[in-house]
Chain A
Amino acid sequence: MSITDQSTAAVGAAPVDQPSPHPGAPQPGSPDLEGWLTERVAFHLRRTPEEIDPDTPLADYGIDSVAAISICGEIEAHFQLAVSPTIAYDFPTVHAISDHLAERLASGDPS
């Protein structure tokens, strides 16, 4: 149970989730988006991109809270899109995160 109604951006004065129109937004399952994300996730987990399987939970690679927030920050900067600091917990695999991002980028849906 949470005592406030701020379910996202709970820590700090993070901005609210707002869509940001992204020209040429990748489609769900887009190799560009997933490739970029795999590379960044690998960096934060101190591995090579080849070691990251898109359907293996990031938890199995030993992700910690600093890596999770770092990945959030990279996504925000790369797509100019505000995302929840818990995105890597809410969508636990590379595949799940990139599908979620592709959907948001395509539709401009702030959810």
Chain B
Amino acid sequence: MPHQHRTLTDAVRAGVDRHPERAAFVYLHEDGPAMRPEEIGYAELDRRARLVAARLHHASKGDPSRPVLLLYPPTLDFVTAFLGCFYAGRTAIPAPLPDEPGERLARVSGILRDAKVGAVLTLPEYRQAIGAWLAAAGEGDVVCLSTGPDDQDGADPDLWVPPVVRDTDVAFLQYSSGSTSEPKGVMVTHANLAANQEAIRTAMRTPEGVVAGSWLPLYHDMGLIGMTLQPLWVGGTSVQMSPVSFIKQPHRWLRMIHDYRVEGTASPNFGYDLCVRRVTEEQSAGLDLSSLRVALNGAEPVRADTLRAFVRRFAGNGLRAESLLPCYGLAENTLLVSGGDTEAPHLELTVDAVALERDELRPVRSDRPARTLVGCGRPTDTEVLIVDPTTRQVLPDRRIGEIWLRGPSVAAGYWNRRELTAETFQAVTADGRAGCFRTGDLGALLGGELYVTGRIKEMLIQHGRNLYPQDIEQAVQESGEVFRRGGGAVFSVTDEASDRSHVVVVQELKARAGGGEEDLAGLAASVQALLSRQFQLPGVSVVLVRPGVIRKTTSGKTQRTLMRQLFLDGALPVLHQRLQEPVAALLPTPAPATEPTAAVSSRS
């Protein structure tokens, strides 16, 4: 096979030999309404990566096995620094620049503590602030280096010596799973990366020199592994812009596809929806999307109506229905687990909704409601097992169970977490199949096609972001004396009308907390304001209750699923609540005298 590289370094060096001037990476910056491209070719990318490696080598004190944290705004400097870690034989940690208070800063601080990093790389303009942040975090011995095109500082790229790396060495840590308070770094080895790059290349039939482009964050698996590293793997070009640039003006994504003749792209389902809803006829006139061969849809549930609407809306622009490929993947499998066939339309399966709730795919019955599932394609190099999470029995076709994975793309485990790694990465089925990774996702196989149906864990998924209820509960309880510690339950509810999910916070007040209706309204408003600031979750619904209302298991775990049910049944004794209209509409209709029709309602 022409692209069978052992490491990312080998792949990029091969690109330098074959086409030094070809663009490796293009970043589109917002420049007023237009987008300004910043471009780097293979030879220059290689030179800057050698420079980063030489600097890391030069400046590192202490243990070179400690990982290197990359804190960059979304720019091509991130790519040179990431590659520089590979060139230096160091373990990289891609992370967002913590330039906002709240969740993002908390997340990066959590990574810093968990990973025991040896060095931080950033841009010159952030170096001082990050140095101060490290000192404040008690990590003053961590060296902070800046990289950039003009950053000479005595390092000589010609002194670079290719590192000796083993296949089992950890190439990078992907911190996309785990809660903010307890982040988990997925250990992706060089062998994992090579295996998954080959799996993607084979499944998507990626040609040499491919042009791929998206607006996904570069520090997340889909944006990094799929959209940035896959093109580098085959000597191609990656074109990227920020999620904010896209959401502000969704047509920018389609314009990028047109301008750069993009062949492969990826987005969670909501990105395709946004294009259908917001791109005007004027904006799409003249756009040619016929270059697109692969448009992956993953990271959140794939909806059949979205796929249909997107094809219908842009068929006139040369978009082919077969290019839309639902897929399933996760950082613990490096990225891709399964994906559709690039030459055929995706599969849809309409099943009996009642049987589905009982964990089985059954043909539709005329007397019962139906539900349409979208197939996430066939597994690539990864073996997919559907397993009963309690008995660990491997289930046959049509039965829904937990998705377990085995294969060369399955990561080596979570960094510094032996016990958790043993539990989740080394699971054994009842019939003795060992070394399986437990995804926590639910699904079924049918004729080789994987259907993902839900999640076991109580995670909240908001626009492809995974939020952990315990992080939100903790933030609320730390925001005021009146909130009872451990007395909160956060969950999401979905309104069928728009199929959107809404976050609900149920929080106990301390017994002494008195106060009139006005004080309670103020507290509920303060919780809303807090969560919009810290988690970019504006408009949560808040329910304040007395102590003892939150149900727990005998071992003290909050029963969020039960609390959700009680809430939806209208069975919670409410002190005060502030509900979004779509959430209020889900509750049983109360007696008209006690319930105002406004969005903000109050009961005592």
Chain B, Cβ-Cβ closest to A5: B129
Main secondary structure of the interface of B (DSSP, over half): mixed
In the complex, A4→B124 CA distance in Å?
Answer: 12
Docked Cα-Cα span, A52 to B224, in Å, equals 40
Measured between beta carbons, the chain A residues less than 8 angstroms from B244 are 11-12, 14, 69, 85
Interface of A is mostly: loop
Tell yes or no: A108 within 8 A of B by CB.
no
Question: Across the interface, do B582 and A10 meet the contact criterion of CB distance under 8 Å?
Answer: no
Q: Which of B245, B248, B249, B270 lies at the interface centre, i.e. has the most chain A CB atoms within 10 A of its CB?
A: B248
Residue of A nearest to B273 (CB): A66
| A65 beta carbon closer than 8 Å to chain B | yes
Report whether B270 and A66 are in contact in the complex, using a CB–CB cutoff of 8 Å: yes
> Which of A4, A46, A65 contacts B99, CB < 8 Å?
A4
Would you call B260 an interface residue if the criterion is a C-beta within 8 Å of the partner chain's C-beta atoms? no
Q: A13-B75, A80-B33 are in contact. Are A62 and B248 (CB under 8 A)?
A: no
Q: Which of A1, A4, A13 contacts B242 (CB 8 A)?
A: A13
Chain B nearest CB: distance from A53 CB in Å? 9
Interface positions, chain B 56-84, Cβ under 8 Å from A, are 73-75
The contact of A2 among B101, B243, B248, B540, by CB within 8 Å, is B101
Residues 1-41 of A, flagged 1 when their CB comes within 8 A of B and 0 if not, give: 11111100011111100000000000000000000000000
Q: Are B580 and A60 in contact, CB atoms less than 8 angstroms apart? A: yes
Closest to A18 in B: B32
A41-72 CB mask vs B (1 if < 8 Å, else 0) is: 00000100000000011111111111011101
The interface residues of chain B lying within 8 Å CB-to-CB of A15 are 30-32
State in angstroms the CA–CA spacing of A88 and B247 once bound together.
Answer: 14
**Which of the residues A1, A5, A13, A82 comes within 8 Å of B73, measured between beta carbons?**
A13
Task: Tell me if B539 and A80 are in contact (CB < 8 A).
Answer: no
Closest residue of chain A to B131, judged by CB? Answer: A3
Residues of A within 8 A of B278 (CB): 70
Known: A3-B132, A73-B247, A85-B244. A63 touches B33 (CB 8 A): no
Q: Are B132 and A62 in contact (CB-based, < 8 A)? A: no
Q: Is A58 within 8 A of B539, CB to CB? A: yes
Interface size on B, as a range, is 35 or more
A91: interface (CB < 8 Å): no
- Which B residues are in CB contact (< 8 Å) with A10? 99-100
Closest CB-CB distance, A101 to chain B, in whole Å?
16
Which of A14, A56, A77 is in CB contact (< 8 Å) with B599? A56
Nearest CB of chain B from residue A83's CB, rounded to whole Å = 10
Q: Which of B148-156, B387-395, B417-425, B528-536 participates in binding chain A?
A: B528-536
Q: How far is it, in angstroms, between the C-alpha of A60 and the C-alpha of B100 when the chains are bound?
A: 24
List the A residue with the shortest CB-CB distance to B132.
Answer: A3
B75-115 interface (Cβ within 8 A of A):
75, 97-101, 105
Which A residues are closer than 8 A to B by beta carbons?
1-6, 10-15, 46, 56-66, 68-70, 72-73, 76-77, 80, 82, 85, 88-89
Contacting A at CB under 8 A, from B582-604, are 582-583, 599-600
Please name all residues of chain A whose beta carbon is closer than 8 Å to the beta carbon of B132 when the two chains form the complex: 3
A61-B578 Cα distance, complex, nearest whole Å? 11
State the Cβ distance, A73 to closest chain B Cβ, in Å: 3
Query: Taking each of B73, B130, B133, B537, which has the highest tally of chain A beta carbons within 10 Å of its own beta carbon?
Result: B73
Minimum C-beta distance from B139 to chain A (A):
13
Q: If the complex has contacts A14-B244, A59-B528, A60-B600, are A1 and B105 also in contact, measured as CB distance less than 8 A?
A: yes
Query: When A3-B99, A4-B126, A13-B29 are in contact, do A61 and B533 touch as well, CB less than 8 Å?
Result: no
Instruction: Give the distance in Å from the alpha carbon of A60 to the alpha carbon of B502 in the complex.
Output: 12
Q: Which residues of B contact A (CB under 8 A)?
A: 27, 29-33, 73-75, 97-101, 105, 126, 129-130, 132-133, 241-245, 247-249, 270, 274, 278, 462-463, 498, 500, 502, 528-529, 532-533, 536-540, 578, 580-583, 599-600
**Beyond A61-B599, A64-B463, 16 extra complex contacts between A and B, CB < 8 Å:** A2-B98, A4-B97, A10-B99, A12-B30, A13-B29, A13-B75, A14-B245, A59-B529, A60-B539, A60-B581, A61-B581, A62-B502, A65-B536, A68-B538, A69-B248, A89-B533
How far is A11 from B248 in the complex, measured between Cα atoms in Å? Answer: 12
Q: A60-B600, A62-B502 are in contact. Are A3 and B98 (CB under 8 A)?
A: yes
CB-nearest residue of chain B to A70 = B247
Chain B residues within an 8 Å CB radius of A82: 32
Residues of A within 8 A of B537 (CB): 64-65
Asked if A59 meets B129 with Cβ closer than 8 Å, knowing A14-B244, A69-B247, A76-B33, the reply is no
Q: How long is the Cα–Cα vector from A6 to B529 in the complex, in angstroms?
A: 21
Q: List 24 A-B contacts (CB under 8 A).
A: A3-B105, A3-B132, A4-B97, A13-B74, A15-B31, A58-B538, A58-B539, A59-B528, A59-B532, A59-B540, A60-B599, A61-B580, A62-B500, A64-B462, A64-B538, A65-B462, A65-B463, A65-B536, A66-B247, A66-B463, A69-B247, A70-B248, A82-B32, A89-B533
From known contacts A3-B105, A89-B533, infer whether A64 and B539 are also in contact, taking CB-CB under 8 Å. yes
Q: Please provide the 3 A-B residue pairs with the shortest distance between their CB atoms, ordered closest to farther.
A: A73-B248, A12-B242, A62-B580
For residue A46, which residues in chain B have a CB less than 8 angstroms away from its CB? 498
User: How far, in whole Å, are A7 and B602 apart by their CA atoms in the complex?
Assistant: 36
> Chain B's nearest CB lies how many Å from the CB of A37?
16
Beta-carbon nearest neighbor of B101 in chain A: A2
**Whole-angstrom CA separation of A1 from B137 in the bound complex:** 13
**A57 CB, nearest partner CB in chain B, Å:** 8
CA distance A72 to B536 in the complex (A): 14
Chain A residues, CB < 8 A from B98: 2-3
Q: Is the CB of A3 within 8 A of B130?
A: yes
Question: Is there contact, CB below 8 Å, between B539 and A61?
Answer: yes
